[in-house]
Amino acid sequence: MNLEVTEIGDQIWMAKNLNVSHFRNGNPVPEIRANEDWIEYAEEGKPAWCYYDNDPANEEKYGKLYNWYAVIDARGLAPKGWHIPSDDEWARLIDYLGGFTLAGEKLKPCIKEAKSLKTLYESGFNALPAGYRNSKGGFSYLGNCGFWWSSTGKIPDNAWCRYMYFNDNDVNRGSFNRRSGFSVRCLQAKLTIRY
């Protein structure tokens, strides 16, 4: 797998949203299109993914949206050597980039003057507003907001995520229903050296 990555502080992040349809062990992650199936899978705690609006044309730019049950599945959604970041690991990224009121500007696309205008990303993170799928199967916010799961749950039915509106610089922290479909960004596992 050829991955674009970016190093931010002491962390190495994927520079694009996750776009896999199989777990690390080779088992498929089911693509779920119909709203009633999306609800049923989540009610049973089963992993699922979809494209925004069930449209494969959104794949290349935005990747896939996953429910939280895919994120925490023991078969491993992240590729080998990577993991889904915890809430604390997201916090470390945001703190390094100046805190929640400043970090968004460094994570999202911006236009900078150079010899010619081109799209640059100050941190290399390349956050894009991929929108989300709600717990009932409806889609919202494409082009306006991006949502990224953490691996940290919140009792009883929610999990922590980060989200960014593209009309301000904040990186928001929220607790959302685990049945929702959000983007996933992976963090490289660090080697631990023991003496």
What are 176-185's pLDDT values in tens digits?
A: 999 999 999 9
In a domain, 161, yes or no: yes
**What's at 140, amino acid-wise?**
S
In a domain, 193, yes or no: no
Q: Cα-flanking dihedrals φ and ψ of residue 68, to 5°?
A: -70, -20
HEC sequence for the chain? CCCCEEEECCEEEECCCCCCCECCCCCECCECCCHHHHHHHHHCCCCCEECHHHCHHHHHHHCCEECHHHHCCCCCCCCCCEECCCHHHHHHHHHHCCCCCCHHHHHCCEEECCCCCEEECCCCCCCCCEEEECCCCCEEEECCEEEEEEEEEECCCEEEEEEEECCCCCCEEEEEECCCEEECCCEECCCCCCC
Find out whether 66 and 184 touch, Cβ atoms under 8 Å.
yes
Asked whether the predicted pLDDT for residue 13 surpasses 80, the reply is: yes
Asked whether the predicted pLDDT for residue 33 surpasses 50, the reply is: yes
Give, in degrees to the nearest 5, the angle at Cα 25 between 85 and 126.
Answer: 35
Q: According to the model, what pLDDT value does residue 1 have? A: 58
What are 128-155's pLDDT values in tens digits?
A: 999 999 999 999 999 999 999 999 999 8
In a domain, 55, yes or no: yes
The residue ranking higher by pLDDT, 2 or 148, is: 148
What are 76-88's pLDDT values in tens digits?
A: 999 999 999 999 9
In a domain, 194, yes or no: no
Total number of domains in the chain: 1
Q: According to the model, what pLDDT value does residue 110 have? A: 55
- For the entire predicted model, the pTM comes to 0.91
Give, in degrees to the nearest 5, the angle at Cα 93 between 1 and 181.
Answer: 60
Rounded Cα distance, 18 and 191, in Å: 22
Q: According to the model, what pLDDT value does residue 76 have? A: 98
Report the range of poorest mean pLDDT among 44-53, 69-78, 121-130, 166-175.
Answer: 121-130
Going across the sheet that includes 82-83, the strands are 5-8, 11-14, 187-188, 82-83
Containing domain of residue 132, as a range?
5-188
Find out whether 3 and 187 touch, Cβ atoms under 8 Å.
no
Q: According to the model, what pLDDT value does residue 2 have? A: 65
